[in-house]
Amino acid sequence: MTTVGVFDSGVGGLSVLRALRAELPQVHFVYLADNAHAPYGEQASQTVLDRALRLTERLRSEYKIDGLVVACNTATALAIDELRHTHRDLPFIGVEPALKPAAALTRNSHIGVLATRGTVHSTRFAQLLHRVTDEPQRPLHVRIQPCDGLAHAIERADPVAIRERARFHLSQLHAQEPHRPPIDTLVLGCTHYPFASNILQALCGAGVQLVDTGEAVARRTRAVLSLEAPAAGTGPGSVTLLSTGDHHPLEQAAARWLGMSAQVAAT
């Protein structure tokens, strides 16, 4: 059975794992939540890189993974190039804010991006933004809002804090360039944010489309690992959940968002 590692700073990467399980039900996934060091989005770049290297080594040595999904926008932005250089024989799949899908979906060319500070200030994000907006035939207007505290509120499953942080950051986003038309497409540039999509949608209104990367990452994982669709009668895959800190938040999140009743092993 193919084994794929998945890591994030905490529970946010479960949004990617949910899409991976739907796309690749025959695979064994090992999900590692580094919640002892969460969230990554407000950590120093070197700290995120060091954690990514350490988690990769652990997943490789203990679980013999065939590929690794970096289910965190910040870790992808700050660490995936070094991970690929250090582990040349291991396929990596990263996540990045879904600017290209948003560009295809927007009707008025006005897009908003919610992401962590670590993501929006990274070189990788700047390059992505340049590629997407450097289309003279259809200029895009992109408003970007770093969302301090939102991932942490989602990590704690605190609905009051989630709503307060979401309302604040959306108000800051909408206040940018008030002379321009409002956004009609909102990119959820952190894997935690899809778990606040109901709140974000209610605050934005029905006229704004929310876009995340889970399904695209799952399709990319299938392609990179050259995995075929499971044959009829193929045995189901499985999931191992690991946590570097308190295991209860991951167990509760897996039950709430993935319908999984699984025991988390501390690492």
For 103, the token pair is: 């560009």
Residue 228, pLDDT above cutoff 90: no
Residue 263, pLDDT above cutoff 80: no
Please state, as a whole number, how many other Cβ atoms lie within 10 Å of the Cβ of residue 83: 21
Task: Give the pLDDT band (50/70/90) at residue 237.
Answer: confident
Q: Across residues 40-66, what is the average pLDDT?
A: 96
From the list 4, 49, 70, 72, the catalytic residue is: 72
Q: Across residues 58-77, what is the average pLDDT?
A: 97
With 0.75 as the threshold, say if the pTM is over it.
yes
Strand pairing partners for 240?
Answer: 30
Give tens-digit pLDDT for 172-224.
999 998 899 999 999 999 999 999 999 999 999 999 999 999 999 999 999 99
179 and 228 within one domain: no
104 and 198 within one domain: yes
111 and 55 within one domain: no
What CATH number is given to the structural domain containing 143? 3.40.50.1860
Nearest to 60, CA basis, from 68, 49, 71, 52: 68
198 and 145 within one domain: yes
24 and 114 within one domain: no
34 and 138 within one domain: no
50 and 63 within one domain: yes
More confident residue, 237 or 262: 237
135 and 161 within one domain: yes
72 is catalytic: yes
Nearest to 213, CA basis, from 132, 99, 125: 99
Task: Give the pLDDT band (50/70/90) at residue 147.
Answer: very high
DSSP state of 182: P
Rounded CA-CA distance 204/26 in Å is 37
Report the residue count for the chain.
267
Long-range contact pairs involving 41-46 (C-beta distance under 8 Å, separation at least 24): 41/9, 41/73, 41/74, 41/115, 41/116, 41/117, 41/118, 41/119, 41/147, 41/148, 41/151, 41/190, 42/116, 42/117, 42/118, 42/148, 43/74, 43/118, 45/78, 45/118, 45/122
Residue 98, pLDDT above cutoff 70: yes
Q: Count up the domains in the chain and report the number.
A: 2
Mean pLDDT, the chain, rounded, equals: 94
206 and 220 within one domain: no
Q: Name the domain boundary from 195, 212, 229.
A: 212
204 is catalytic: no
104 and 46 within one domain: no
Residue 262, pLDDT above cutoff 80: no
109 and 37 within one domain: no
202 and 111 within one domain: yes
Q: Name the domain boundary from 169, 196, 212.
A: 212
Res 261: pLDDT: 75
The region of weakest confidence among 142-151, 170-179, 187-196, 252-261 is 252-261
Host domain of residue 25: 3-94+215-266
Res 134: pLDDT: 85
Res 114: pLDDT: 98
From the list 154, 190, 200, 264, the catalytic residue is: 190
Residue 170, pLDDT above cutoff 70: yes
Res 136: pLDDT: 67
Name the percent of the chain lying above pLDDT 90: 86
